[in-house]
């Protein structure tokens, strides 16, 4: 009996919005015997890693590193600038803004949420109204997600700084760049973020496991005013250690540091401007294909205005349960894994099976994006999902034009 050939043999491709694709150079750097943590190469690497991390965030200020994920970075940022009972403002544009708010509440913070829904960026006028009404300056921090990975909305952090400055409101501006750092342009100092948080597993192209908190002098001053910060989360010794172990509050994440060194070499070898430009072209190719698919059937992009779309992730919808069927088909037939819809419908709601996301962050190039889009086209044909024509032509035009 003739068997249908399997097309999944070959390198699998995880095209979810984090963890992202890990470069061979990063994997290779991590594949080594355990290094000495007391002297030699590993401690010697730290000043260079610190300097190169700051160049990624475009800041001349401080960075503290933690063994942890994005949630750890959220908590680290909050405990260094607030005390229980303080008020924080959360302008949420998706699941991740709400998630940071949830962490804030768990720390005893009074959490003021402005929910902008799942398809719109922050409305600066509404944020200004809330800040204006806070004439006693009880709001100590604004928790702003730059790119909300669930909705793929990108927010204007510089504009938010402008709102605070225009009102003379002293709240700190905390930016979540976990999805965007190393993908979408972000300039911490120029844009006036006081604190920036990120993780290792998205634009930084590493396995999950490290969290980074960048902070400026205003944020350091807020830290200095607190009566106490827990020993492990305190960012002060991590950013200015007297001894090597203080960088990591204990044993260093040895292999991750080798991977991080390799990832930073890739990023700065390419150059930040080039990294951002590459992500922009690749994202435009994805959008061009998605816009073509959207001209028939139920295919749709979550963010209609390209000005508010992230270059790192794209949130999409089909009819339920087509998105889940498409994801399953691509994974089993082509070894291509797409992201699930997140925060668009509650767990258990069948509507969840209508949403999916594409990750195009980090170590991604033109042929990977064309393969991703070509796979989706093939999947929709195999599953007879109605969709508009010309998607791959449109994407190829973008790639060809650069």
The footprint of ligand PLP (CB under 6 A) covers: 18, 69-71, 96, 145, 147-149, 176, 178-179, 199, 208
* 358-395 core/surface letters (b: 16 or more CB in 10 A; e: else): bbbbbbbebeebbebbbbbbbbbeeeebebbeebbebb
* Closer Cβ to ligand PLP, 116 or 329, answer by number: 116
Per-residue DSSP letter, 248:
T
Q: Which residue is nearest to ligand PLP (CB)?
A: 70
Contact 286, 278 (CB under 8 A): no
In whole angstroms, how close is the CB of 393 to ligand PLP at the nearest point?
A: 31
Q: Which is nearer to ligand PLP, 302 or 322 (CB)?
A: 302
CB of 134 to ligand PLP, least distance (A): 25
Cβ-based nearer residue to ligand PLP, 235 or 299: 235
d(CA 353, CA 68): 30
Let me know if 217 is exposed, middle or buried by CB neighbors in 10 A (0-12, 13-18, 19+).
Answer: exposed
In the sheet that holds 355-359, the strands lie side by side as 13-15, 336-340, 355-359, 313-317, 300-301
C-alpha separations of 378 from 66, 327, 367, 374, 382 in Å:
42, 12, 16, 6, 6
Report CA-CA distances (Å) from 174 to 90, 146, 168.
10, 10, 17
Binding residue per annotation — 154? no
Nearer to ligand PLP, 196 or 294 (CB): 196
- Phi, psi angles (nearest 5°) of residue 15: -105, 50
Which strand ranges, in their side-by-side order, compose the sheet holding 87-92?
Answer: 62-67, 210-215, 195-199, 172-176, 139-145, 87-92, 110-115
**Cβ atoms of residues 156 and 192 within 8 Å:** no
Say if CB 249 and CB 238 are below 8 A apart.
yes
Residue with Cβ nearer ligand PLP (174 or 275) = 174
Q: For ligand PLP, which is the closer residue by CB, 342 or 392?
A: 342
Rounded Cα distance, 146 and 312, in Å: 11
Q: Residue 33: how many CB atoms within 10 A of its CB?
A: 4
Considering the complex, what minimum distance in angstroms separates the CB of residue 18 from ligand PLP? 5
> For 342, phi and psi rounded to 5 degrees?
-130, 125
Binding residues for substrate: 357
* Binding site, annotated residues: 357
């Amino acid at each position: 009996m003739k068997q249908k050939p399997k097309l999944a043999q070959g390198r699998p491709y995880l095209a979810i919005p984090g963890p992202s694709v890990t470069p061979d150079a990063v994997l290779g750097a991590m594949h080594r015997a355990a290094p000495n943590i007391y002297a030699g190469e590993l401690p010697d690497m730290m000043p260079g890693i610190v300097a190169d991390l700051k160049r990624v965030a475009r800041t001349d200020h401080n960075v503290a590193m933690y063994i942890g994920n994005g949630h750890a970075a959220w908590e680290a940022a909050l405990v260094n600038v607030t005390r229980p009972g303080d008020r924080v403002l959360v302008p949420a544009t998706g699941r991740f803004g709400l998630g940071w708010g949830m962490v804030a509440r768990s720390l005893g913070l009074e959490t003021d949420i402005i929910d902008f829904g799942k398809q719109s960026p922050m409305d600066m006028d509404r944020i200004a109204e809330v800040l204006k009404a806070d004439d006693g300056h009880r709001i100590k921090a604004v928790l702003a997600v730059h790119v909300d990975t669930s909705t793929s909305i990108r927010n204007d952090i510089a504009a938010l700084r402008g709102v605070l400055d225009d009102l003379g409101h002293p709240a700190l501006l905390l930016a979540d760049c976990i999805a965007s750092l190393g993908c979408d342009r972000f300039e911490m100092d120029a844009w006036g973020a006081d604190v920036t948080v990120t993780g290792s597993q998205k634009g930084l192209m590493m396995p999950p496991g490290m969290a980074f908190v960048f902070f400026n002098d205003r944020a350091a001053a807020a830290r200095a005013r607190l009566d106490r910060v827990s020993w492990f989360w305190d960012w002060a010794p991590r950013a200015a250690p007297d001894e090597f172990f203080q960088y990591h509050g204990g044993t260093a994440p040895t292999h991750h540091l080798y991977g991080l060194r390799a990832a930073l070499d890739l990023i700065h070898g390419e150059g930040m401007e080039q990294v951002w430009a590459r992500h922009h072209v690749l994202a435009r190719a994805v959008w061009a294909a998605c816009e073509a698919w959207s001209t028939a059937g139920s295919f749709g992009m979550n963010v209609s205005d390209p000005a508010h779309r992230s270059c790192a992730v794209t949130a999409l919808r089909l009819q339920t349960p087509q998105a889940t069927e498409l994801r399953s088909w691509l994974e089993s037939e082509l070894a291509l894994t797409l992201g699930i819809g997140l925060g668009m419908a509650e767990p258990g709601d069948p509507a969840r099976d209508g949403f999916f996301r594409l990750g195009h962050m980090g170590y991604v190039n033109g042929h990977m994006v064309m393969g991703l889009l070509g796979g989706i086209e093939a999947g929709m044909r195999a599953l007879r999902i109605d969709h508009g024509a010309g998607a791959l032509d449109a994407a190829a035009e973008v790639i060809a034009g650069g």
